[in-house]
Chain A
Amino acid sequence: MWNTVFPYLLSGISVGGQYALIAIGYTMVYGILRLINFAHGDVFMVAGIIMVYMAASGVPLWLCIPLVLVLTALIGFVIERVAYKPLRSAPRMSAMISAIGVSYTLQNLVLYVTGGLNQIYPTIPWISDSVTIFGATTKMVTVITPFLTLILVVALVQLINHTKIGMAMRAVSRDFETSQLMGIKINQVISTTFVIGTFLAGVASILYFTNYTTVIQTSGAMPGLKAFVAAVFGGIGSIPGAVVGAFIIGIAENIIKGLDIILFKAGVISGPMGLATFSDAFTFALLIIILAVKPTGLFGEKITDKV
């Protein structure tokens, strides 16, 4: 039984770590701007595409990785300045629509550049190697993802709790206008938030695409949505919440992918049920259940409406 479940659990934890890194970008932006940054998943995909083209043009891999991360962060910065900053005083829906527009633009841009073909992600030595742990064969990246995620999250939490910019972020997310009156440079804080968020998405893209090996313009949509669901699940605005939510969703999704085999081996069902179809849908079912039971998510703060 354990032998059947373990490989799925393992890849679940790994995918969960990757979702966590994307989800942090969503949750931080939402915490500060109250904006669902629908383009975040596409930035993640663009990071993958940049890596593909950079490696193909002959840049050595050890240089590619930092360059990709810097470029991705830069893209995040530019998107915020171009598409969200002009709408700061507009109704919230306008910014959300702008985010959807950016997502559409990024996808079309990549479609144009790649011609809509699957791009093979470069093989990064060491993290692409196969390893066997507890009888399950997998890639090195699966093993290192959760650890790397935890290190990055701890570093981020330290940054938010113990630095000046972190304090400014907390202040802005608490009260936008008051913190502006207190002399906090809002635009700088928001840009930093986007840079951190997209940087983490860049890290996630290296881990994720090393595992899945191909990138296409729609690759970012599903992981993006799931990471967002993870952020909502954990209580949007809360970083630990996003991480916990992402791991739960990653694990649940992968267990469902293998549910047919697991249940069959356990003798519950006699033939294939095709339950793997629901691996994506389950994420959303989970979301709707949590929203119905606890609308602010696992770690979310309770908000009261003011007239």
Chain B
Amino acid sequence: MNKKKIDSATIISAVIVLALFVAVFIAEQIIPATSMLFTVIKKGATYALVAVSMNLLNGFTGIFSLGQAGFMLIGAYVYGIFTIPVAARADVYQYYNGGLVQFTMPVFLAMLCAGLAAAFLAFLIGLPVLRLKSDYLAIATLGFAEIIRALFQWDKLGPVTNGSNMLRLFPNFNDFNIKNADGTVAVYFSTLVPLLIAGVCIGVIIMLINSTYGRALMAMRDDEIAAEAMGIRLASHKRLAFCISSFFAGVGGAMLAMYQTTVQAKSFTTAMTYEILLIVVIGGIGSVTGSCLSSFLFVACSEWWLRFLDQKQMIGNFEVPLLRNGFRLVVFSIIIMIVVLFFRQGIMGNKELPDLIRQLQGKNKGGADK
């Protein structure tokens, strides 16, 4: 292992993250479960994981992939297919005689399978696709995502995928709550657990980025030819990054399935990939912290804070013009365009939380010296 010293900034960052987890846990026990805060945290955690996985490819490896929605679809479906209770299968697969799969897996095992399935598919897709260059690679991965979407809607695969009908009745985030015998909730975990899952996965990605592998990936991003000359095997590193990113996109897909409580192939469009790409850009390409922050901001704005723009508002007797259904998204898109055009670095640029803390510490020290 490298002999890097763990400095105080890293420790402070870890403490901040830990404190956030504790705060969420406490908030969950106090504030009513219907609060928008929890919806935002659940969806935000899901998007954060997917955004970080996309950032691993687009920001750290320099592979411009637009296939994220496809891998999320795989994850969501694998999770759904393996966790629907056997008793509920006749109901869900009503057009396919209860379907082919007749067993149920524990939730976490199914999530692992979701990730592995996505990673395996990424391996297969990577064989032809990763040889391509920038734009071509982007459009080929996008194409694969579309092919996967069509395949999962195919009637002949109905006994497994339920065709174009939705999968439902699988365990969702609310099933993480610990309940009393009479059905009331004793301890709320429905927000903390998804946050923890995302946290652990993102932690693994951060560790990967800081390892020799991560350095090799970044070297490839900066200059492929130079990296190759330094002895980095491009093909295998690219494949590895692609599979790992897809693994976490798959897990993210499983989380999205839990969040939505239903899964339908037709919702995993390229628009979803674009949305995640925009999150990554807003956060700063090449910053994990940025991706996480912007996921929560993005979800909070679109689901919660900008909601008022969709309803009629009165200031005294004056009705504010333009406000009606859909205005929120217009405002939102304009904000995004402003970020894309004028704040190209995004929220964090390529800095991480510890970097910021180090900056602050440096400033304080400078002040003390004087």
Contacts and interface: CB of A to CB of B under 8 A. Distances in A.
A288 B143 contact: yes
Contacts of A109: 330, 333
B313 to A, nearest CB: 16
B343 to A, nearest CB: 11
Interface string A61-84: 000000000000000000000110
Contacts of B352: none
A239 B112 CA distance: 47
B270 A97 contact: no
B327 A280 contact: no
B139 A94 contact: no
Contacts of B342: 86
A102 interface: yes
B132 to A, nearest CB: 6
Contacts of A285: 143, 147
Interface string A231-252: 0100010000000000000000
A100 B278 contact: yes
Nearest to B58: A93
Nearest to A34: B135
B36 interface: no
B326 A280 contact: no
Given A36-B139, A280-B146, A105 B344 contact: no
B277 A100 contact: yes
Given A101-B278, A103-B274, A111-B329, A284 B143 contact: yes
A278 B154 contact: yes
B138 interface: yes
A277 B150 CA distance: 6
A101 B277 CA distance: 10
A273 interface: yes
A112 B329 contact: yes
Nearest to A35: B135
Main secondary structure on B side of the interface with A: helix
B332 interface: yes
Contact of A101 (B134, B146, B333): B333
A273 B157 CA distance: 11
A97 B134 CA distance: 13
Given A221-B270, A295-B132, A86 B341 contact: yes
Nearest to A306: B225
Nearest to A110: B326
Interface in A114-172: 115-116
Contact of B140 (A98, A108, A218, A287): A287
A273 B156 contact: yes
Interface string B261-290: 000000001110011011001000100000
A274 interface: yes
B260 interface: no
B340 interface: yes
A274 B64 CA distance: 33
Contacts of A94: 340, 344
B270 A291 contact: no
B4 to A, nearest CB: 30
- How many residues of B sit at the interface, in one of the four size bands? 35 or more
Contacts of B146: 225, 280-281, 284
A181 interface: no
A204 to B, nearest CB: 20
A232 B140 CA distance: 10
Nearest to B331: A108
B151 interface: yes
A101 to B, nearest CB: 5
B155 A277 contact: yes
A101 B225 CA distance: 31
B227 interface: no
A267 to B, nearest CB: 20
B136 interface: yes
A307 interface: yes
A97 B326 contact: no
A278 B150 contact: yes
A36 B274 CA distance: 14
A160 B190 CA distance: 62
Given A115-B325, A274-B154, A105 B139 contact: no
A263 to B, nearest CB: 14
Contact of B326 (A83, A111, A225, A292): A111
Contacts of A82: 341
A104 B281 CA distance: 14
Contact of B333 (A105, A280, A281, A305): A105
Contacts of A116: 325-326
Contact of B277 (A97, A102, A221, A236): A97
B336 interface: yes
A116 B90 CA distance: 35
Interface string B125-161: 0001101111110111011101101110111100000
Interface string B289-328: 0000000000000000000000000000000000011110
A92 interface: yes
7 contacts: A105-B333, A108-B330, A112-B326, A218-B271, A277-B155, A288-B140, A291-B128
Q: Which 6 A-B pairs have the closest CB atoms?
A: A284-B143, A281-B150, A274-B155, A112-B326, A105-B333, A108-B329
Given A101-B278, A278-B151, A295-B131, 17 more contacts: A34-B135, A36-B138, A90-B344, A93-B285, A100-B274, A104-B274, A104-B333, A105-B333, A108-B333, A112-B326, A116-B326, A218-B271, A236-B135, A281-B149, A281-B151, A291-B132, A295-B132
